[in-house]
Structure 1
């Protein structure tokens, strides 16, 4: 912990939570991905947070628009998506994410696939990625709630410092659940 707190320390962190699903967006079934992300964040994060929930169909323009709005208008330092990351023709979340990002951070997807391979051999079909847009970090997660928890737990130790580096609100974790890495003095 740094000695001089940023002026926005203690403020509720607005987190974008985006579920990408044709069927859930049409009301055919209940969204399980968004609540799965929120439950995982509740366990991991110690910082006060507020979710900006969105549910969109598997349509690239809709995904791009919601990611841009959450980053540029709502200033969410962290935007987490779930769904539409497989090889199906309708799975376009990675393309939409890459299109709106300034920089792609390949290590996030690599780690999530590596962790998921311990559970299922089809993890190699997953195309999750992460990137930055301005002061926002966008992370694509799989759609299955258990995979959401597993993947978010794997990458979250790097998320607070990444957000520090791009100028977002400081995020603290519950060290009993997740130890965020920050260099000494950061």
Structure 2
């Protein structure tokens, strides 16, 4: 069972002005698929706070996976990709590209996503969109490959060839 951290980047949810639906959806979806949620937090759209939380989850909690939601658009306050870029050691561009590719089949607005994915030490970080509908679609798309990627990252398997 892989461990999971969830970070919601939202000024409104942080202040209590909006109910966080995306984070709850992530939590329920991932727990149903045998991921253990170790931390779930809502932070304002502040790059330094996002970076601190990402580093804490990677370095102190040693989580296997972090899923962020929100802060990936064009607004000046959308800084989740920049925070992620600042703290990762290696890119994992195929995940974000795959999510965008799949989302473009549903809406042309998917091209406006600036989400990224990457690795810090032994933790995979994936930026997800902010809307619950897009979060669900993204999770359904990446889930079949996610476990295998984490197994490789953790050294539990070394084979990537399809059977």
**TM-score when normalising by structure 1:** 0.80
Q: Which runs of 5+ in 2 are unaligned?
A: none
User: By percentage of residues, which structure has more helix?
Assistant: 2
Deviations 1:3-29 (CA, angstroms, capped at 9, x unpaired)? xxxxxxxxx533101100011001111
Equivalent residue pairs, number? 162
Larger radius of gyration: 1
Cross-structure match for 1:154: 141
User: After TM superposition, what 4+ stretches of structure 1 lie above 6 angstroms from structure 2?
Assistant: none
Alpha-carbon shift at residue 35 of structure 1 (Å): 0.3
SS in 1 for 2:16: coil
Cross-structure match for 2:153: 166
Cross-structure match for 2:85: 98
Deviations 1:28-71 (CA, angstroms, capped at 9, x unpaired)? 1111121011122134x1x3623410110001000000000001
1:73 and 1:150 mapped to 2: Cα distance?
30
5 Å matches for 1:8-23? 13-23=2-12
Change (3 A) 1:169 1:23: farther
5 Å matches for 1:1-186? 13-43=2-32, 45=33, 47=34, 49-167=36-154, 183=161
Alpha-carbon shift at residue 183 of structure 1 (Å): 4.5
For the 8 Å contact 1:14–1:52, the answer to whether it is kept is no
